[in-house]
Structure 1
Amino acid sequence: MAKRFGGRFSPQPRLDGTDPRAPARPAPGEFRHPLESRTRWVTIMAIPFLISAFWQDPNGLALHLIAFGAVASGMWMTREGLQAEAAYDARRVARRPAIPRKLFGGILTGLGLAIGSYVPGAEAGAGVIGFAGAMLHWLAFGTDPMRDKGMEGIDGYQQDRAQRIVAEGEAHLKAMQDAILRTGDRRLEARVGMFAATARELFSHVEENPDTISAVRRYLSVYLQGARDATVKFADLYVQTRDQRARQDYETLLTDLETEFAARSARLLEGGRTDLDIEISVLRDRLVREGVRPAPTPPAEPAELQRPMTLDDLLIPRESEKPRR
């Protein structure tokens, strides 16, 4: 039976009747760097080392195999570094990668080229080729991020704690999306994807403000774990029975969870705005006390409000309100 497909860039609305929305935060493994495809081509160009190894003497065989392995390992490290850089660039608050993968990838690539071009008696030439390959790697792929981004004023312990809890939440979302695939229903897959996008929006707020982790921890652990268990049980039941009532109950559950997660994200934003207003007010008062900024003058009251109003003021019209003859 034919199935209708929809998406963000389709002219028709989405299958579940809601407006398409881009996720606020990509899922782990979905970060893509524009230079990532270059690593594949470099690995392919190192294949002659692998092929020519079988026409060499034992020493040449070992050297060529090691050369190909070094270049392939360097490109694997470089690809991992590019993915880490893409994740670093996608977040407003991020730590620098713990391991400079692109740096190690460049060293391995240069080492592989030097070993592959080694000829007895011409060690200097092999060293020049290896150094040139490492420099070309640096020019082609750049360097690793070497400093933290947006971490000023953020507790490192709280940040690590928030990342662990967010990683647990991502694992629950991944389990939900894997379980719903068993139903083979595109509408249900899209519905779970929308809920995952809303949950990841909350993840972004937690990563940027780790101090709020205590207020939303049950959403990222208890609620998501319950949603995962409900999804697994629903998928098992729906595959066997195609029960429409169970499907309606499950979609209602997702709607309730999505509404609650969105409301929690809005409350976090409102709380941050309130804290900002308080900080601005306190700073302004301090500037006034220290004489840096003049005190604000209260607005002048109208003349009729400077004395108490009597009953005659209400019954007897004023001169300006009398009708003209």
Structure 2
Amino acid sequence: MVTDLAAFGLVASGMYMTREGLVAQAGFEARRVAKRPAIPRKLFGGALAGMGLGLGAAMPGAWAEAGLIGAAGMVLHQIAFGLDPWRDKRPDGVDGFQQDRAQRMIDEAEGNLQAMQQAIARLGDRRLTGRVMGFDASVRQLFDRLRDNPGGLGSARRYLGVYLQGARDATVRFADLYVVTGDGAARAAYEAFMDDLQRDFAARADRLLDGDRDALDVEMSVLRDRLAREGLTGAATRLAPEDRPALQSQEAQTLDDLLRMPFPGQKTPRD
């Protein structure tokens, strides 16, 4: 019985690790820029499940067969659920050092968001909880913009550091006050504060996106100027298709006429 319970515990632990690995992989694939999971959960889940199957099938004098069953279970687990992501997803041309700095800043900011959610959850107010979740969505939009453009960390550092820490402290103090007094004026002031803060974070995310567009316009403008200086953009290439003159030939108007034309040096029947 103890052996069977241990086997069940191993299999259950493997399924838990596999579920966590699938959740981590879904988050990894949903982002254009992401770091690989620090722990290969699906791999560990397959190993635990294989060990559980082998232990459950173990019998005196049949250890080799039990090992084969466990190995087969592990292989089938990996075939069914796949492997964990092994490489980071980075866009081309992005500095890895800048990307790591931005990710560390995002990790610290996510801790502040979790502290805000935990503080407001103590009130048990669905409206306030939804208000904080709306602010959380705006901040995570800024996270996504920063992952795509880590060069904007300098302009977003104050938002992810000072402003977000201030929002966390204000939320904790409001929760401590409201749970005791239920002050409606304090609640109205807090909701107005969150509205203003959410608009500011959304505007910062939009400005990061506009910065990407400006960089693209600059690159295209520089490329056009360079091509013009090198003489690769003539007047004919700037004409619209309908403005370009049609090709005309007095000797060949159709493909058959063109094929019947003599090559240079070839004698015709008249010659």
TM, length-normalised to structure 1: 0.67
Query: Which AA in structure 1 matches 2:41?
Result: R
What do residues 143-162 of structure 1 show as CA deviations (whole Å, max 9, x unaligned)?
A: 11233323422222222221
Is the CA contact (8 Å cut-off) linking 1:88 and 1:94 kept in structure 2? yes
Q: Shift of the alpha carbon at 1:227? A: 0.9
Kindly indicate whether residue 201 of structure 2 is the aligned counterpart of residue 253 of structure 1.
no
Partner of 2:83: 143
> How far, CA to CA, are the matches of 2:176 and 2:87 in structure 1?
47
Partner of 1:241: 181
Is the CA contact (8 Å cut-off) linking 1:95 and 1:151 kept in structure 2? no
Q: Shift of the alpha carbon at 1:135? A: 2.2
Q: Shift of the alpha carbon at 1:212? A: 0.8
> How far, CA to CA, are the matches of 2:119 and 2:224 in structure 1?
54
Q: What percent identity do the matched residue pairs reach?
A: 60
Residues 71 and 185 (structure 1), Cα distance of their counterparts in 2 relative to 1, 3 Å cut: closer
Structure-to-structure mapping, 1:112-261, within 5 angstroms:
112-261=52-201
Structure-to-structure mapping, 1:44-55, within 5 angstroms:
52-53=1-2
Q: Identify the match of residue 214 of structure 2 among 249, 274, 277.
A: 274
Residues 247 and 130 (structure 1), Cα distance of their counterparts in 2 relative to 1, 3 Å cut: same
Q: Shift of the alpha carbon at 1:108? A: 2.6
| RMSD of Structure 2 on Structure 1 (CA) | 2.2
Q: Which has the higher helix share?
A: 2
> How far, CA to CA, are the matches of 1:89 and 1:178 in structure 2?
28
Partner of 2:267: none
Query: Which AA in structure 1 matches 2:196?
Result: D
> How far, CA to CA, are the matches of 1:145 and 1:105 in structure 2?
14
What do residues 166-214 of structure 1 show as CA deviations (whole Å, max 9, x unaligned)?
A: 1221111221122222333222222111111111111111122111111
TM, length-normalised to structure 2: 0.79
Q: Shift of the alpha carbon at 1:163? A: 1.5
Q: Identify the match of residue 26 of structure 2 among 86, 90, 94.
A: 86
Gaps of at least 5 residues in structure 1 are: 1-51, 54-60, 299-325
Query: Which AA in structure 1 matches 2:14?
Result: G
Structure-to-structure mapping, 1:284-303, within 5 angstroms:
284-294=224-234
Q: Shift of the alpha carbon at 1:264? A: 0.8
- Higher mean C-alpha deviation, range 94-103 or range 224-233: 94-103
What do residues 209-257 of structure 1 show as CA deviations (whole Å, max 9, x unaligned)?
A: 1111111111011111111111111122222222222222111211111
> How far, CA to CA, are the matches of 1:88 and 1:202 in structure 2?
17
